[in-house]
């Protein structure tokens, strides 16, 4: 260390004129605001900006120049022997000179930053969140990286040995590895992991360049050609080790299964059956989330692309009504068309299978009740495929006014189409039926002049539909019940709370009073038999879906004054009003996301999601399901700790 | 067992690709001696010196200084070694004073007084940048640095290069004086054969990376002689040529009124046999200068002897 410090002191002393240069630059910056054309700006702003930019620019420029010359010139001119004729190690020579150069560069940066520091103080290194590490690293690390890079390139160019081939090859391989390591983390949309991996790659570059440079000096000593060979060998072997470690770490970050989930989000739930689409993170994996199609009753899962759009919380899978089939878009660039995948969930051991179909990210997908057929609306054309055979059955071009549409299979050969149409700032819904075999489209109904449609829902039998609309400037939406075929208005619904169709076609409408009581109306839709229940429940009560025939889940806070206690859930019989506790201290019901049939249609969902209402997230973040047979909550994945 | 030699090269080989710069070189320099390694340009002297100083890793073999492997234990080895390089490599932007500040911190046996006295006696300015010094002053500064570290071994790589005759003489006189005072071992490479003849007590000659000669200078000079005899018609030239083989003839020729031969194995016994077998009238037996021996050994062609 004594030798290192001695060399460092000598080198700093030899280049002390650089400090005078920095003082001169700082001096000029102080007088910048008085220059013509600049005097109109705020003097402190001018000095702060000028000194911040100049400090970084000068630091980087000096690092580049010194990196290219400090060792390179001495090696070329045979002057490095001066140090190697002394009892000092090659490493001390390297360390001493690098420390000297970097000390000089950092002091130069501080001197040039002095005007900014005088006006802004330490705030130039802070942001609203605390220390601005990116700025600090830019001043500290960027010059160091440039110095080491310039040194390596300088030795490479001056020596011009065949090791240059290794250098060029190594640079290409490193570029490929950087791409291979960053791309997957970028695609899964994990910014923290992306920063960590990118930071690790920069650190790897720094370490490799430092080791390569040190080895070049320590092993090559006064021989430029040998310095180059030693540098290349050490640089690229260190880089290989670092890249291998980063690649392993990156793979570990990304590759984990549902069993590793520590927290779970449910994105979609098959209407029937046990399959859900779950997204979860795992312990130590930073903000990386993986997405799986998994069975809540059996130990089976299929991987899904982690991120499918710019929005993280977006569902991927689309299910058939009977829950036997799922289709989804594969991974790829966010706005590019993707390959379509599907799985037969009815098989004991389902497998993800690619199709030969490529669909755009926004194209609405609809499966027939049994999952045998798939309808895709894309470019104003409804294409119907035989999914198993990947065969196009029919492509039906939609009329101009029906192109913002969603379709639902009535039966394998008939589609019902719902389309939105803007007329004079009011939206209408057009209803049509399409015969798949012939491609014939028949308009069967219309719901005219609705204002802005926020969502609409259709019952399982496609007989009734509720349309939620909002007039311009209104915060509260209106809901109307219509005939799902003709579009005829049945009546206005005077509730703003929970609304859902039961399996038997009836509707459940709820509203919450200020005193915490919940009024639940079971509406037969047509005819007599309206049932009204009033439940005394805690504030924040929510009525969820139909988990068993005529049974809905009611959830409310265990302790309204302490939300950390979680929720309590009960099974409510909509006919008798009987209520039965089934669990408590849960974090909440799963947040399933309704099928989004394209931006044009807004939210549209065909029938209820009874299976979703049986799923909850417990206090540990685990996904649990309520089992109607045993009446117990059963752990599925995640949480545990 | 004898004392550990100060310098020991053992099978030293240096290759640059297919070119063999130094080929299996082995030699030893005992304590207190002055060893002069001679050779033409490109003979491998500089590579040998770099390996000796631990500045270059040999392709094969090894070199030791004061018992330390000069590649692996260079730092220890260099503690008591002074070096005057072929081209003075003191940083051009530095002064003699600043050099002293740095070297004093890293050299354990450094004597500042010795250094400054030497600079003063030689008139080397202490505050002037190295690049501004004359060539002679640069060499004097390099020598002052080398000697102020109380070296047990002084390695001089062509130290008189670029110096005039007076400066060369002065340098050698100082060296002899220092050596007498301290018993320092000197390892010297030079092209100044006349100068080194007065101070070297052992000589090695490198040719194409191989060591042609490694022996005491006195022995070398005793072996190499030039015979001059009067031509006669009585004795055929073939007989004279055959008789000269006992003396290791390496070259022969004729001048006006006399014949000459240079021999490399001169001895009293061999000379007697020559005279018995070829009873010519020998006019003179002259010793050769080191330069003449060197030319006889290395010749004018890259391949060596002419």
DSSP 8-state class, residue A122: G
Q: Determine the structural domain holding residue A52 and report its residue range.
A: 2-235
Angstroms from B123 CA to nearest CA on chain A: 22
Cβ <8 Å between B108 and A87: yes
pLDDT in tens, A29-52: 888 878 777 777 777 888 888 888
DSSP 3-state assignment of A431? strand
Can you give the length of chain B in residues? 306
Mean pLDDT, to the nearest integer, of A384-406? 87
Q: Please name the residue of chain A whose CA is at the shortest distance from the CA of residue B92.
A: A79
According to CATH, where is 3.40.50.300 located in chain B? 7-216
Per-residue pLDDT at A537: 64
DSSP 8-state class, residue A8: H
According to CATH, where is 3.30.70.260 located in chain B? 225-287
Cβ <8 Å between B78 and A86: yes
**With 90 as the cut, is the pLDDT of residue A508 above it?**
no
Chain A: residues touching B (Cβ < 8 Å):
2-3, 5-7, 9-10, 13-14, 78-82, 84-89, 219, 221-223, 226
- Chain B positions touching A88 (Cβ under 8 A) are 75, 106
List, in order, residues 6 or more apart from A267 with CB less than 8 Å away: A276, A277, A278, A279, A291, A313, A314, A315, A316, A317, A592, A593
Q: Residue B11 — φ and ψ, nearest 5°?
A: 60, 30
The residues with which A117 forms a beta bridge, in sequence order, are: none
Q: Please name the residue of chain B whose CA is at the shortest distance from the CA of residue A223.
A: B56
- Chain B positions touching A78 (Cβ under 8 A) are 87, 89
Mean pLDDT, to the nearest integer, of A180-200? 88
Cβ <8 Å between A82 and B91: yes
Angstroms from A220 CA to nearest CA on chain B: 7
Are A361 and A334 spatial neighbours (Cβ–Cβ below 8 Å)?
yes
Q: pLDDT under 70 in chain B at which residues?
A: 1-2, 180, 300-306
In a domain, A265, yes or no: no
In a domain, A25, yes or no: yes
Least confident of A516-525, A539-548, A577-586: A539-548
Cα A518 to Cα A545, A547, A560, A566: the distances in Å are: 15, 19, 15, 19
Cβ <8 Å between A88 and B75: yes
Q: Which sign, positive or negative, has the C-alpha torsion A616, A620, A621, A624?
A: negative
Cβ <8 Å between B56 and A226: yes
Q: How far apart are CA A59 and CA A50, in angstroms?
A: 14
Cβ <8 Å between A78 and B103: no
Domain count, chain A: 1
Interface test with B, best of A84, A95, A160, A220 (most B CBs within 10 A): A84
Q: How far apart are CA A129 and CA A118, in angstroms?
A: 22
Per-residue pLDDT at A602: 47
**With 90 as the cut, is the pLDDT of residue A460 above it?**
no
Mean pLDDT, to the nearest integer, of A433-439? 92
Classify domain B225-287 by CATH architecture. Answer: 2-Layer Sandwich (3.30)
pLDDT in tens, A127-162: 777 777 888 888 999 999 999 999 999 999 999 889
Are A453 and A469 spatial neighbours (Cβ–Cβ below 8 Å)?
yes
In a domain, A107, yes or no: yes
- Chain B positions touching A222 (Cβ under 8 A) are 50, 55-56
In a domain, A464, yes or no: no
List, in order, residues 6 or more apart from A394 with CB less than 8 Å away: A383, A384, A436, A437, A439
Angstroms from B209 CA to nearest CA on chain A: 19
Point out the residue among B56, B79, B106 whose CB comes nearest to the CB of A6: B106
Chain B: residues touching A (Cβ < 8 Å):
50, 53-57, 74-79, 81, 83, 85, 87, 89-94, 98, 101-103, 105-108
List, in order, residues 6 or more apart from A79 with CB less than 8 Å away: A73, B89, B91, B92
Point out the residue among A14, A86, A222 whose CB comes nearest to the CB of B107: A86
In a domain, A98, yes or no: yes
* Helix, strand, coil % over all residues of chain A, rounded to 5: 35, 30, 30
Q: How far apart are CA A324 and CA A320, in angstroms?
A: 6
List, in order, residues 6 or more apart from B301 with CB less than 8 Å away: none
- Chain B positions touching A233 (Cβ under 8 A) are none
Per-residue pLDDT at B193: 87
- Chain A positions touching B105 (Cβ under 8 A) are 2-3, 5-6, 9
Cβ <8 Å between A221 and B55: yes
Strand order in the sheet with A405-411: A405-411, A414-423, A426-435, A440-447
Structure tokens at B133: 């010094």
**With 70 as the cut, is the pLDDT of residue A304 above it?**
yes
Mean pLDDT, to the nearest integer, of A564-571? 85
Cβ <8 Å between B94 and A10: yes
- Chain B positions touching A219 (Cβ under 8 A) are 57
What confidence tier does A599 reach under pLDDT thresholds 50, 70, 90?
A: very low
Torsion of CA B86, B144, B135, A16, to 10 degrees: 100
Cβ <8 Å between B78 and A89: no
Per-residue pLDDT at A607: 54
Angstroms from B200 CA to nearest CA on chain A: 23
Cβ <8 Å between B102 and A223: no
**With 60 as the cut, is the pLDDT of residue A270 above it?**
yes
In a domain, A331, yes or no: no
Mean pLDDT, to the nearest integer, of A575-582? 86
DSSP 3-state assignment of B266? coil
Per-residue pLDDT at A601: 44
Q: Residue A11 — φ and ψ, nearest 5°?
A: -70, -40
Are A377 and A407 spatial neighbours (Cβ–Cβ below 8 Å)?
yes
Q: Please name the residue of chain A whose CA is at the shortest distance from the CA of residue B103.
A: A86
Mean pLDDT, to the nearest integer, of A606-612? 61
pLDDT in tens, A348-373: 889 999 999 998 888 888 899 899 99
pLDDT in tens, B261-282: 888 888 888 888 888 888 777 7
Return the percentage of chain A with pLDDT > 90, whole number.
35
Q: Please name the residue of chain A whose CA is at the shortest distance from the CA of residue B155.
A: A85
List, in order, residues 6 or more apart from A11 with CB less than 8 Å away: A70, A96, A97, A100, A101
Interface test with B, best of A1, A18, A87, A90 (most B CBs within 10 A): A87
Q: How far apart are CA B185 and CA B201, in angstroms?
A: 11
Least confident of A163-177, A585-599, B60-74: A585-599
**With 50 as the cut, is the pLDDT of residue A71 above it?**
yes
Cβ pairs A/B, distance under 8 A: 75
Interface test with A, best of B68, B102, B145 (most A CBs within 10 A): B102
Classify domain B7-216 by CATH architecture. Answer: 3-Layer(aba) Sandwich (3.40)
Q: How far apart are CA A170 and CA A291, in angstroms?
A: 35
Global confidence as pTM: 0.78
Cβ <8 Å between A14 and B93: yes
In a domain, A221, yes or no: yes
Q: How far apart are CA A502 and CA A127, in angstroms?
A: 53
């Amino acid at each position: 260390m004594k030798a290192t410090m001695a060399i460092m002191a000598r080198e700093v002393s030899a280049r002390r004129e650089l400090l005078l240069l920095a003082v001169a630059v700082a001096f000029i910056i102080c007088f910048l605001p008085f220059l013509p054309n600049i005097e109109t700006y705020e003097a402190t702003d001018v000095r702060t900006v000028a000194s911040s930019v100049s400090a970084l620019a000068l630091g980087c420029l000096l690092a580049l120049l010194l990196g290219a010359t400090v060792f390179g010139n001495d090696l070329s001119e045979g002057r490095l022997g001066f140090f190697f004729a002394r009892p000092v190690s090659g490493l001390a020579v390297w360390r001493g000179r690098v420390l000297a150069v970097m000390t000089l560069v950092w002091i130069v940066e501080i001197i040039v930053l002095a005007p900014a520091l005088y006006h802004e103080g330490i705030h130039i290194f802070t942001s609203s969140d605390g220390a601005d590490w990116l700025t600090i690293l830019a001043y500290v690390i960027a010059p160091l990286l440039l110095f080491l890079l310039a040194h390596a390139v300088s030795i490479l160019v001056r020596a011009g040995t065949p090791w240059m081939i290794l250098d060029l090859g190594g640079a290409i391989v490193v570029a490929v590895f950087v791409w291979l390591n960053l791309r997957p983390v970028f695609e899964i949309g994990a910014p923290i992991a992306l920063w960590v991996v990118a930071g690790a790659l920069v650190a790897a570059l720094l370490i490799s360049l430092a080791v390569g440079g040190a080895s070049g000096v320590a092993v090559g000593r006064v021989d430029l050609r040998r310095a180059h060979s030693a540098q290349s060998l050490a640089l690229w072997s260190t880089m290989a080790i670092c890249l291998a470690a980063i690649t392993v770490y990156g793979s570990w970050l990304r590759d984990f299964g549902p069993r590793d989930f520590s927290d779970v989000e449910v994105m979609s739930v098959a209407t029937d059956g046990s399959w859900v689409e779950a997204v979860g993170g795992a312990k130590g994996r930073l903000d990386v989330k993986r997405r799986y199609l998994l069975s809540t009753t059996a130990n089976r899962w299929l991987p899904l692309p982690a991120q499918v759009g710019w929005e993280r919380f977006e569902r991927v899978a689309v299910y058939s009504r009977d829950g036997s089939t799922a289709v989804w878009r594969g991974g790829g660039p966010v706005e590019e068309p993707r390959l379509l995948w599907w799985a037969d969930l009815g098989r004991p051991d389902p497998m993800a299978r690619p199709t030969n179909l490529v669909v755009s990210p926004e194209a609405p997908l609809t499966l027939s009740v049994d999952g045998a057929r798939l309808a895709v609306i894309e470019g104003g054309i409804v294409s119907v495929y035989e999914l198993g055979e990947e065969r196009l059955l029919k492509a039906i071009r939609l009329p101009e006014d029906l192109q913002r549409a969603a379709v639902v299979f009535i039966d394998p050969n008939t589609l019902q189409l719902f389309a939105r149409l803007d007329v004079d700032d009011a939206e209408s819904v057009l209803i049509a039926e399409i015969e798949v075999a012939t491609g014939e489209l028949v308009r069967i109904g219309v719901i005219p002049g609705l204002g802005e449609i926020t969502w609409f829902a259709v019952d399982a039998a496609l007989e009734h539909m509720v349309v939620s609309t909002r007039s311009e400037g209104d915060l509260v939406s209106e809901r109307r019940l219509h005939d799902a075929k003709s579009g005829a208005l049945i009546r206005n619904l005077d509730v703003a709370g929970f609304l859902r169709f039961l399996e038997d076609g009836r509707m459940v409408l709820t509203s919450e009073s200020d005193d915490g009581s919940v009024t639940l109306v079971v509406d037969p839709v047509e005819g007599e038999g309206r049932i009204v229940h009033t439940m005394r429940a805690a504030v924040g009560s929510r009525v969820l879906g139909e988990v068993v025939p005529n049974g809905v889940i009611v959830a409310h806070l265990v302790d309204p004054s302490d939300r950390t206690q979680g929720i309590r859930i009960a099974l409510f019989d909509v006919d008798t009003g009987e209520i039965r506790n089934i669990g408590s201290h849960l974090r909440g019901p799963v947040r399933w996301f309704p099928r989004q049939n394209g931006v044009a249609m807004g939210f549209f969902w065909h029938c209820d999601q009874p299976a979703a209402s049986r799923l909850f997230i417990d206090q540990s973040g685990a996904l649990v399901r309520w089992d109607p047979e045993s009446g117990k909550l059963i752990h599925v994945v995640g949480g545990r700790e | 067992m004898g004392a550990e030699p100060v310098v020991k090269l053992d099978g030293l080989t240096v290759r640059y690709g297919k070119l063999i710069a130094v080929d299996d070189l082995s030699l030893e320099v005992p304590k207190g001696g002055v060893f002069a390694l001679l050779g033409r340009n490109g003979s491998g002297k500089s590579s040998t010196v770099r390996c000796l100083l631990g500045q270059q890793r040999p392709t094969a073999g090894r070199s030791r200084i004061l018992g330390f492997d000069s590649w692996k234990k260079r730092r220890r080895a260099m503690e008591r070694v002074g070096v005057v390089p072929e081209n003075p490599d003191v940083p051009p932007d530095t002064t003699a004073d600043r050099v002293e500040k740095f070297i004093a911190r890293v050299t354990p046996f450094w004597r500042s007084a010795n250094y400054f006295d030497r600079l003063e006696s030689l008139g080397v300015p202490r505050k002037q940048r190295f690049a501004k010094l004359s060539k002679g002053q640069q060499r004097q500064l390099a020598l002052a640095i080398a000697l102020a570290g109380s070296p047990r071994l002084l390695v001089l790589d062509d130290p008189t290069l670029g110096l005039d005759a007076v400066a060369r003489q002065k340098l050698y006189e100082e060296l002899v004086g220092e050596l007498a005072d301290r018993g320092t071992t000197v390892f010297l490479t030079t092209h100044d054969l006349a100068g080194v003849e007065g101070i070297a007590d052992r000589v090695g000659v490198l040719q194409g990376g191989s060591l042609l000669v490694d022996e005491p200078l006195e022995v070398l000079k005793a072996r190499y002689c030039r015979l001059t005899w009067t031509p006669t018609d009585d004795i055929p030239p073939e007989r004279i040529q055959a008789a000269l083989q006992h003396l290791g003839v390496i070259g022969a020729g004729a001048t006006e009124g006399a014949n000459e031969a240079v021999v490399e194995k001169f001895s009293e016994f061999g000379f007697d046999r020559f005279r018995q077998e070829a009873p010519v009238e020998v006019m003179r037996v002259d010793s050769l200068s080191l330069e003449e021996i060197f030319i006889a050994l290395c010749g004018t062609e890259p391949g060596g002897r002419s």
